[in-house]
Chain A
Amino acid sequence: MPPPIGIPSRHRSLTLLAAVVLGQVLLLAAQIKRERQVRLIRVWAVELISPLQRIGAWTIHGAQHGWGGYIGLRRAQQENEEMRAVLDRLKVRNAELEGRALEADRLEALLNFHTTHQEVPMIAASVIGASPDSGSQVLYINKGSRDGLRRDMGVITPDGVVGKILAVYPDTSQVLRLDDKESGVGALLSGTRTQGPVKGTGAPLLSLDYISNDEKVTEGQAVLTSGQDRIFPKDLPVGTVVDFVSDPKTPFMRIRVRPAAHLDRLEEVLVLETRQELNLKKEADGDGAAPASSGTAKSSMAQASPAKKSADSH
């Protein structure tokens, strides 16, 4: 018989031997069960195939990763620009939300103040503008005569006195701030109850006039409304004494006062519809409805109340 094609005759028996032995080995493997009753041929098959599978998986994974990296590089710049645009938009959005959060805080404080003093009619208004003239400290609010506002009504915030209505229009009103040169409010020093007008200077600090050199004044002393100007009720926080100087040329001290209200960053205000006195002691003893600058205001109120009682008794 001629030898099979491709196998030399001298190797035919050796090839046959290998085939026969291999066949019997496979036959054995098909019968033998190893641990967990898995047939050995299955173990061999898995061990034979799994490296190829791993190589295949590794190759495919590498190709995918490489392709993904290539595509990723191509798209990276575009995505980077898109992400930057998104980031810019988010920054703007974040700033907007932060502003809204701050506004919500302010409105909450305003609402709390309003709720605490429900017996006093007051109208909440938003600041919609300011005077273009740097020499005058006025601002405009979004409430006018149609809302019941009239000239000379007092304007406050939970922190303290802001100013008074200077002019009223149907839907807006002009408010003269306390720090304007033409502005003034009847005030008194807490504790001594010494009265004197607080005037604007055109600068951030106010001036408390006509306080005798003999009076006892201390830095940080609270200055409250006296109610004598017929605009503001008594005992509203006006500010605190920053410093004072006795002038030998005149019988009065020069006292500088820091406004209790943040006049340079007003956004919402309350307009007092009457001169009914606010029960600030309730606020001082009460809950979170306290003014934002409550440290000074509360202490001033606490100091003011006994004096007021004393004055009332006289």
Chain B
Amino acid sequence: MDSTEVYIGPEPHIEVHKYYGGVVPVVVLLALVLQAFFPVYIRSANYLELPLLVTLYFALSKRNASSGLLLGMVVGLLQDSLSRTPLGLYGIAKTLVGYLGSSLGARIDTEHPIARFVLTSVFYLFHHAVFTLTTRTLLAQKSEVYFSIPILIASIVNSFIAIGLFPLLDRLRKPS
């Protein structure tokens, strides 16, 4: 199987990347474990959203809407399972992130660090907005807010992390 395929779509020059077998599940599990592990020792690690970053990365790289949303769903449901939130809260948010990320990745170049920074910030805020909307609508909990300075800071922090994380994950791609 080729490691790089030519995408036939709105942007024909954008490549679709492939990964070695087991990479995606391992990375996802690792992200979830670290997400659960870090806040125990580092209080400010609550701002971290490693599952979101992993979801966004694979969505932008694979550029397939179906696989992107399914990956987002799986990551989100696993995150829900590990947290106290009802199953589906993170699932919905990450499903949408996966779908929109893969759709967007098929149209623009997401390999550039600045593009990754901006996209991560935007998707972090979008993910939080969807999460808040779902929480307010379904759980009737008004404590969550759509936007605040800490949330903005968290989005920036995660964007910086993404700039460092995504190139590491790029190395897991099959060589083209």
Q: Which residues of A contact B (CB under 8 A)?
A: 12-14, 16-17, 20-21, 24-25, 27-29, 31-32, 34, 40
Contact = CB atoms under 8 A, between A and B. Distances in A.
Contacts of B92: 21, 24-25, 28
A32 B66 CA distance: 28
A25 B86 CA distance: 10
Contacts of B103: 13
Interface string B45-78: 0000000000000000000111001100100110
B60 to A, nearest CB: 15
B66 A24 contact: no
Contacts of A20: 69-70, 73, 95
B168 interface: no
Contacts, number: 54
B88 A13 contact: no
B91 interface: yes
A132 B89 CA distance: 108
B40 interface: no
Contact of B95 (A24, A32, A34, A40): A24
A286 to B, nearest CB: 87
Contacts of B69: 13, 16-17, 20
B138 interface: yes
B105 to A, nearest CB: 13
Nearest to A24: B88
Contacts of A21: 92, 95-96
A25 B99 contact: no
Contacts of B139: 32
A13 to B, nearest CB: 3
Contact of B88 (A14, A16, A17, A27): A27
Contacts of A14: 65
A25 B70 contact: no
